[in-house]
Amino acid sequence: MICIVGALSVDLLVRKDRFIKGTSNPASIRLSPGGVGYRIYARLESPKMLFTALGSDMFGKWLIETMEQPQWVNPIFLDQYPTACYCALMQSGELLYGAADMSVIEEGLSWPRLRARLPELGASDFLVLDANLSPDLVRSLIHNMGSKTRVVFESVSVEKLLRHAGLLKNLYLLSGNEGEFRALGGWFTASGEKTDKSSASRGGSRSDWWVRDFLEQRKIKQFLVTRGRRGVRLYRLERLSRQRTDATPRGGSPSESGGKRSFAPLTIQPKRVRETADTTGAGDRLFSSYLEALSREVAPGDALRQAVEQVERSIEEGSL
C-alpha cells in the first residue's frame, strides 16, 4: 500500500512562448485536477490511497467528479476554506511564475481530523507526505507512523521545504529538485549542526559534501534530486559488511563493519532529450515511477533507471 497525504488542487496552466510584462497576453489556458499529492497518486498502479482536504465549494465537487480513480481518494470537506488552487505561467515549456493557495491543506488538514481515517501501515508500505502540509501535521505523522512504515517526503518548493527542514528525520526517502537541494544545503550548513568537510573526499562533488552528514545525522536513507534535462541524482548511505574470514563461524554471516557506510551518489542522465511545450508533472512522474518500482522491491539503482525511462516515454507521448 502507498498512502499519500497531500494536496489535491485545481491547476490553472497558462502557456505561451514568451510573456510580455504589463499587458494582456493571448495564451493557452487549461483547467485540470492537480496538486503534488494527487499527481503522485494518479500515476501509481500499486494499491494506493490519497488523503486530502477540499473546500465545500463548486471546485471541490468538480475535482471529485473529474479526477482519475476517485474511489481511493479520501477528502475532508471544510466549509471555512476554498479548494486549493495552483496557477502556473509556462513560458516555452518552463515554469516562469507559479502561485498557490493551499490554505485548506496547510491550515485545514490536521492530525486530529486525519488520524482516525488513516489505514494501518506496515514495514513494506509507504506513507508519502508533500510539503504543502503544515509542519505540525508532518511532525505528528512522522512521530506516530515513522517507526511503523517507510515515510517519504516530497519537497514541492524551496519555501515549503525550508519550513519543514528541521523536521526531516527518520525518512526512507526525501525528494526534491536542484533548487530545493541547494536551499536545503545552505540551511543545513548555516544551522549550526555538525558537518565534516572531509566528506568531499569520500564521495560526491565539492558542491554536495554536506549530504553525507545530513543523511547520517537525520537518519534518512535516500535523497532523490531531479535535475531537469540533466537527469537525476540519488544519494544513498549503505552499510558496509566485512568480508567473510576464517574466524567467521560456519553457517554464520559476516558482521557489519562497525557502522561504517558507503556513500556513492548515482547519476542517471536521459538517453534522449525531447522538447516539450510543458514540463509540468515531469518530476512527479519520475517520483511516482521510482516509488512504484521500490514498492515491487526493485533495487534503487534499477528502479531509478526504470523511472527515467518512463519519464522519457511520457514526454514523447505527451502524457506527463
Lowest-confidence pick of 29-43, 98-112, 116-130, 252-266 = 252-266
Task: Tell me the mean pLDDT in the region 179-204.
Answer: 72
Lowest mean pLDDT among 115-119, 122-126, 188-192: 188-192
Say which residue, 206 or 266, is predicted with more confidence: 266
Q: Are 11 and 88 in contact (CB under 8 A)?
A: yes
8 A C-beta contact, residue 244 and residue 194: no
Q: In the numeric block, which cell numbers belong to residue 199?
A: 566528506
Is 80 exceeded by the pLDDT of residue 3? Answer: yes
Instruction: Give the separation between CA 258 and CA 240, rounded to whole angstroms.
Output: 9
- Residue 14 has a pLDDT of 94
Residues 258-294 as b/e (b if ≥16 CB within 10 A, e otherwise) read eeeeebebeebebeeeeeeebebbbbbbbbbbbbbbb
Q: Cβ contacts of residue 233 below 8 Å, gap of 6+?
A: 224, 225, 227, 265, 266, 267, 268
* Average confidence (pLDDT) over 306-311: 83
Place of cell 470537506: 77
The whole-number pLDDT of residue 95 equals 87
In the structure, what pLDDT confidence band is assigned to residue 272 with cuts at 50, 70 and 90? low
Give the integer Cα–Cα distance in Å for 64 and 192.
45
Where do we find the cell 485540470? 32
Q: In the chain, what are the domains?
A: 2-15+29-242+254-317 (3.40.1190.20)
| pLDDT at res. 246 | 42
- How many Å apart are CA 232 and CA 226, to the nearest integer? 4
**Predicted pLDDT of residue 277:** 47
Q: Are 253 and 232 in contact (CB under 8 A)?
A: no
Cα–Cα distance measured from residue 167 to residue 295, given in angstroms and rounded to the nearest whole number: 25
- 141: cell is 505523522
8 Å CB contact between 238 and 261: yes
Identify the DSSP state of 248: S
Helix (H) or strand (E) holding 293: helix 282-295
The pLDDT assigned to 280 comes to 54
* pLDDT given at position 269: 81
- Going by C-alpha positions, the residue among 106, 174, 134, 149 that lies closest to residue 2 is 149
Q: Which three cell numbers stand for residue 238?
A: 549503505
Distance in angstroms (rounded) separating the CA atoms of residues 209 and 199: 5
pLDDT at site 168: 94
DSSP 253: -
CB of 288 closer than 8 Å to CB of 314: no
Query: So what's the pLDDT on residue 207?
Result: 63
Average of pLDDT values for 104-124? 93
Task: Report whether pLDDT(227) > 90.
Answer: no
**What pLDDT sits at residue 228?**
78
Mean pLDDT is highest, among 77-86, 243-252, 278-287, 297-306, for 77-86
Q: Is 189 exposed, middle or buried (0-12, 13-18, 19+ CB in 10 A)?
A: middle
User: What is residue 253's predicted lDDT score, i.e. its pLDDT?
Assistant: 36
Contacts of 169 (CB under 8 A, 6+ apart): 142, 218, 219, 220
Give me the mean pLDDT over the 201-218 stretch: 75
At 200 the pLDDT is: 46
Percent of the chain exceeding pLDDT 90 equals 58
**If DSSP codes are grouped into helix, strand and coil, which group holds residue 158?**
helix
313 vs 202, which has greater pLDDT?
A: 313
Q: Determine which of 43-47, 84-88, 174-178, 205-209 has the lowest per-residue pLDDT on average.
A: 205-209
